[in-house]
Structure 1
Amino acid sequence: MNAIGMSLREGIKHILSGPQAVTALKALGTVVSVAALYKLAAYVLRELVLVPKLTILRDVEDLHKPRRVVDFDSEIDIASLTPSLRVALRSDSYTIHKILPNKVDPLVSLMMVEKVPDSTYEMVGGLDKQIKEIKEVIELPVKHPELFESLGIAQPKGVLLYGPPGTGKTLLARAVAHHTDCKFIRVSGSELVQKYIGEGSRMVRELFVMAREHAPSIIFMDEIDSIGSSRGESGSGGGDSEVQRTMLELLNQLDGFEPTKNIKVIMATNRIDILDSALLRPGRIDRKIEFPPPGPEARVSILRIHSRKMSLQRGINLRALAEKMGQCSGAEVRGICTEAGMYALRERRQHVTQEDFEFAVAKVLKKNAEGNTSVGKLFN
């Protein structure tokens, strides 16, 4: 800063000779920085001075050295240097070289993020009522927010999908993300249960930060009962206290984000009976959608979906097969189709027969009868 071709005193005197030449001086320790002489920029803490040439002085915080005022490379846009931004400084000149993305915990960054899932509503069988409901609370606000504005009502923030495993909760969540062109961020509630104090809460905060960066996005939280169980159900141990801190942070995030920012939350659970009432209240969870075990007609629909790409022998009676499946879930019906194909594969055949399907049904039902009872029966 001292190599300016003239003394600092003479430079200041020259600049001050014109009344509009300078609008601000900034004291930096024992050095006076003249804004018109130095096109200085800064980093993330706060905006200091605005001068006529759109020169912006910013306070820079180095991780290893005191705060400083620095220059920036020509390809850096001044308007992009906003507070709380992370930047890379050159080691020799300390000029701003690159704008860095927000810091995200590695555990959060490893969560499943899909730009647009490939699942569609046509892949969901026997859930016409559930599809209609999730369209109302997720797809409609994302595609047509003006309808809610014209009526003067708030957009729904979140929806809870509940029912036994294998009934299509995750599949439907992926499908609605596909039809809304939203990024799909999937996290299990058990991943948010951390050993150390404050880790789970921090992961929840960074999860919502990542959702804002990827907006429009859908956060799908599976097994929400892992952190959202009723506080009266938990013990007094340290682990339970940490789970409660994580849930309180989740409640805070649900209250804090605006639904108009194109961030939607879908939660799924097998145990709605143990969820905390604070989590289920309107304004956080605006719709609760039940996913019961599929009935006979729903099982026929699921069989058609999963067998339409299979090489089938003519005359296969899918309805008769569906009636033999009892209380099989949608996932078990899909497994029956796969198992029927395996029977044909073992015999080196190019097509699947009715007998293959019957063997597959008997095999799945036998497993259920031997003690691995279909979870659908537990809900009846």
Structure 2
Amino acid sequence: MIDEIDALCPKRNNLPQHKLDLVNTFLSCLDGPFSHPSTFVIGTTNKISDIDEAIRRPGRIDREIEIPVPDTTTRKEILRSIFNNNNVSEAWMTDDKKLDQIVTSCSGFVATDLLLLVRKGIDYSIENSCAFSHEILLNLAHKIYPSALKELIIEIPNVNWSSIIGYDEIKQKLKEAVEWPILYKSLFAKYSLKPSSGILLYGPPGNSKTTMAKCIATESSMNFISIKGPEIFSMWVGESERKLREIFSKARKFSPSIIFIDEIDSIGKSRGFSDSSSSSMVESRILSQLLNEMDGLSENDCLIVIGATNKPTDLDSALLRPGRFDNLIYVPLPDDETRKKIFIHNNMSPTDVLIKKTKGYSGAELFLCFKELRMEELRQELKGQSQNVEDSKTKFIRILNKIKPRTSDEVISYFDKFVDQFGLNY
């Protein structure tokens, strides 16, 4: 029994000599005098693509058995077994509806993840002197990531739609594209509606595109795999494509999932921009791999890809075809109504003067202004000065003169032209 056999027999490309000798020796052992009918070799791995192909040839380790991620029925059986093994018995544990709620919120969990969930739930009930309820497990389930996805997931803050001020039309559009196909699967089938495979969020920087993607993952209880486009690149031939292939493979196994690709323009750049350099060849191969992965998505995968970019015109037109990123959502600068809500959220009355002066500011820039306002008030308090020397609105206007909006009219015009070409989509 050889655990993590991928470490013993990695692919021999670019291996140092001592590791190459080890792989060759092991292959000789499988073929040579050490092989015997009464000897049986079992290897385990969670990185089968890293194993040298020679070990998987007939006559060596030629029988492969994939142990899949437990489905909802299996997760329920595992959960019941864990309750029994830990001598936990509550009335609600016989209620199938409550158990279904728990296992549905645990998509992608394997047995060890479910065991961790139950143990954390028991610890919580002991520490807080309360009954071990299914509500405890539901709350904890959102704080535990599937162990096999930890290497891919960037930890998501506990965000929900209330974390984003305004943008109600965009929020609704995202709900319809991501949540509705899961919640109303039978209705989608009735009306022959195919769920979107890809959503592109585009617009000026600093307007919550990334936070929106995280919110929809949180609200829909989907696994969230977040990557930045530049992180995919590798100097080794084929490595970038392999990374992308593995990401999609894991997302399918742990569905329902969202793959969020920030700065997608870095890996989806138009082939019209390419030249003959090695970096352009890598970009072209990555784009081809991304197109293949998106074409391979089916309704049963319960997987959606969300891309975010500030440079939508840099994207290859093939990405924007139906069946790929066909749901284009423009995330503009905050309008007057949204800026009013931001002022109210920050406990300041939104006067006409303030609304007029903040036109052209991104959400991030406005919150930076409010942060600077709070810092000024803190400095005054530490110096023992009265807060009434200058009112908050006057201070804020003074801060606006120091912190200028960075989204120029040319940038706004750039996005307006893209909207004219492809539509607003909300």
TM-score range, shorter chain: 0.5 to 0.7
1:166 counterpart residue number: 206
One-letter code aligned to 1:343: E
Q: What per-residue deviation string (whole Å, max 9, x for no partner) do you get for residues 100-156 of structure 1?
A: 99xxxxxx9644344x75222222223111112111111111222222122223221
Matches within 5 A, 1:47-66: none
1:154 and 2:177 correspond: no
CA–CA distance in 2 between the matches of 1:348 and 1:243?
Answer: 54
CA–CA distance in 1 between the matches of 2:43 and 2:112?
Answer: 12
1:257 and 2:250 correspond: no
> Cα distance, 1:246 vs. partner?
0.6
1:67 and 2:60 correspond: yes
1:233 counterpart residue number: 273
1:337 and 2:370 correspond: yes
Matches within 5 A, 1:1-380: 67=60, 83-84=65-66, 110-114=151-155, 117-305=157-345, 307=346, 316-317=349-350, 320-348=353-381, 355-368=391-404, 373-374=406-407, 378-380=411-413
One-letter code aligned to 1:193: F
Q: What per-residue deviation string (whole Å, max 9, x for no partner) do you get for residues 166-219 of structure 1?
A: 122112111111110112211111111222221211111111123224322211
Q: Is the 8 A contact 2:344 2:350 kept in 1?
A: no
Aligned pair in 2 of structure 1 residues 189, 376: CA closer, same or farther (>3 Å)? farther
Q: Rg larger in 1 or in 2?
A: 1
Gaps of 5+ in 2: 1-32, 46-53, 69-110, 114-148, 414-426
Aligned pair in 2 of structure 1 residues 260, 352: CA closer, same or farther (>3 Å)? farther
Give the structure-1-normalised TM-score.
0.66
Identify, as 1 or 2, the structure richer in strand: 1
CA–CA distance in 1 between the matches of 2:246 and 2:401?
Answer: 44
2:91 counterpart residue number: none
CA–CA distance in 1 between the matches of 2:152 and 2:43?
Answer: 30
Q: Is the 8 A contact 2:244 2:290 kept in 1?
A: yes
CA–CA distance in 1 between the matches of 2:158 and 2:409?
Answer: 27
Gaps of 5+ in 1: 1-28, 46-60, 70-80, 87-98, 102-107
For 2:195, what is the secondary structure of its paired residue? coil
One-letter code aligned to 1:83: I
CA–CA distance in 1 between the matches of 2:387 and 2:303?
Answer: 44
For 2:158, what is the secondary structure of its paired residue? coil
CA–CA distance in 1 between the matches of 2:64 and 2:183?
Answer: 30
CA–CA distance in 1 between the matches of 2:316 and 2:163?
Answer: 32
CA–CA distance in 1 between the matches of 2:343 and 2:281?
Answer: 45
CA–CA distance in 2 between the matches of 1:365 and 1:344?
Answer: 17
CA–CA distance in 2 between the matches of 1:360 and 1:207?
Answer: 45
Identity %: 32
Aligned pair in 2 of structure 1 residues 238, 330: CA closer, same or farther (>3 Å)? same
> Cα distance, 1:367 vs. partner?
4.0
Aligned pair in 2 of structure 1 residues 320, 111: CA closer, same or farther (>3 Å)? farther
CA–CA distance in 1 between the matches of 2:268 and 2:404?
Answer: 30
One-letter code aligned to 1:208: F
For 1:340, what is the secondary structure of its paired residue? helix
CA–CA distance in 2 between the matches of 1:262 and 1:167?
Answer: 27
Aligned pair in 2 of structure 1 residues 259, 68: CA closer, same or farther (>3 Å)? closer
Q: Is the 8 A contact 1:325 1:361 kept in 2?
A: no
For 1:236, what is the secondary structure of its paired residue? coil
For 2:261, what is the secondary structure of its paired residue? strand
One-letter code aligned to 1:206: E
Aligned pair in 2 of structure 1 residues 178, 376: CA closer, same or farther (>3 Å)? farther
CA–CA distance in 2 between the matches of 1:297 and 1:258?
Answer: 39
Identify, as 1 or 2, the structure richer in helix: 2
Q: What per-residue deviation string (whole Å, max 9, x for no partner) do you get for residues 319-343 of structure 1?
A: 5423221200011111122111111
